[in-house]
Amino acid sequence: MLKIDDLSKGFKNFKLDNVSFNLEPGYIMGFIGPNGAGKSTTIKLIMNLLKKDSGSIKIFGKDNVKHEKEIKDRIGFVYDSSYFYEDLSIKQMKNIIAPFYSKWSDNTFEMYVKRFELDPKQKIKKLSKGMKMKFSLAIALSHEADLIIMDEPTSGLDPVFRREILDVLYDIIQDENKSIFFSTHITTDLEKIADYITFINKGNIEFSKAKDDILESFSIVKGSPDLLDDDMRKNFIYIRETKVGFEGLTENITKVKSLTHDKVLIEKPSLEDIMVYTAGRK
Ligand SMILES: Nc1ncnc2c1ncn2[C@@H]1O[C@H](COP(=O)(O)OP(=O)(O)OP(=O)(O)O)[C@@H](O)[C@H]1O
């Protein structure tokens, strides 16, 4: 579906550095990372809204620039800021967008408009942020796209809207030939629906793996500060220390257990823990 190899793009104060990852058909991949890590830059490069310096982006096995028109016909794209004409109504805007897609379906669009409780006569400028996102999503889902790409689709949405959007995404993925790639800061959403997580930090991919493998491979360790000698420290990605104890993230729990003779408390980290500790690593 999506294959990115050694993708680089430099700005004055930032470099997206040899980014590589793959997304197979039938899966949802979450794209996470701190502010300014390079998520939107990567998505813009995928959508050919920015020009890469080097590397390759293949979508449906084809170069994303050479075959842009054909590829975009099969992509549903949801961008984080509104790109609609504010003075038009939902229906008028839809009428402008629909002819660009070879497989546009008014029936599907109307189904989503109903499901999202949108009024087709309402002007775009009168829609709330959540309603605009729903409208974007209705557009993205109404032309039988095989790949849905979204930049922070759930940001700023309340939990009820968010859950509904996650349900829609989950329904789409029941078709094993479709995939979804989306960036988000809301890692709990990914814990619910993502199959794969790609984590970018300062323009570099930290990991791109199955969510279950990620959650399985990391552990949070809590213990007394006197356990932290140099040997022990080497096993941690990040350690937060106070006078009374430490808390650290490790990928090497067997070694930590043997060094501490089980005198530590071990917990399973959330994706947020993994992201925060990995990003905080010195
Ligand atoms: N057109 C541009 N010109 C110069 N620098 C840019 C440009 N676009 C992005 N950047 C810089 O590239 C870096 C990565 O930005 P990007 O928007 O990709 O991050 P992000 O991971 O999407 O962040 P956020 O989570 O805050 O949305 C930032 O330092 C940003 O200032």
Q: Which portions of the chain are predicted below pLDDT 70?
A: 80-82, 282
Residue 277's alpha-carbon distances to 68, 204, 216, 238, 249, in angstroms, are 38, 16, 16, 6, 7
- Please report the atom of ligand 1 found closest to the CA of residue 34: 25
Q: Which of 8, 9, 11 to mutate for ligand 1's pocket (most ligand atoms within 8 Å of CB)?
A: 11
Compute the distance between CA of residue 60 and CA of residue 72 in angstroms, rounded to an integer: 11
- Please report the atom of ligand 1 found closest to the CA of residue 41: 18
Q: 2-210 and 218-280 share one CATH topology?
A: no
Residue 165's alpha-carbon distances to 130, 171, 280, in angstroms, are 10, 10, 31
* Ligand 1 center from residue 168 Cα (angstroms): 29
Secondary structure letter of residue 269 according to DSSP: P
Q: Which of 13, 35, 41 to mutate for ligand 1's pocket (most ligand atoms within 8 Å of CB)?
A: 41
* Ligand 1 center from residue 51 Cα (angstroms): 14
For ligand 1, atom 11, the nearest C-alpha belongs to 14
* 174-225 pLDDT tens trace: 888 999 999 999 898 898 899 999 999 999 999 999 999 999 999 999 999 9
Q: What is the CATH number of domain 218-280?
A: 3.30.70
Judged on CB neighbours under 10 Å (0-12, 13-18, 19+), 277 is: buried
Amino acid 211 reads K
* Ligand 1 center from residue 3 Cα (angstroms): 22
Q: What is the CATH number of domain 2-210?
A: 3.40.50.300
The ipTM (two decimal places) reads 0.97
Structural contact between residues 53 and 9, judged by C-beta atoms closer than 8 angstroms: yes
* Ligand 1 center from residue 163 Cα (angstroms): 28
Q: Any idea where the domains of the chain sit in the sequence?
A: 2-210, 218-280
| Long-range contacts, stretch 64-67, CB < 8 angstroms, 24+ apart | none
Give the model's pLDDT for residue 282. 57
For ligand 1, atom 7, the nearest C-alpha belongs to 11
For ligand 1, atom 31, the nearest C-alpha belongs to 36
Structural contact between residues 198 and 187, judged by C-beta atoms closer than 8 angstroms: no
* 69-100 pLDDT tens trace: 999 999 999 986 667 899 999 999 999 999 99
Ligand 1 pocket residues where CB is under 6 Å: 11-14, 33, 35-41
Structural contact between residues 231 and 63, judged by C-beta atoms closer than 8 angstroms: no
For ligand 1, atom 12, the nearest C-alpha belongs to 14
- Please report the atom of ligand 1 found closest to the CA of residue 33: 21
The closest alpha carbon to 228, from 204, 244, 215, 213, belongs to 244
Give the model's pLDDT for residue 209. 96
What is the residue whose two structure tokens read 């790109």? 83
Secondary structure letter of residue 99 according to DSSP: G
* Ligand 1 center from residue 169 Cα (angstroms): 26
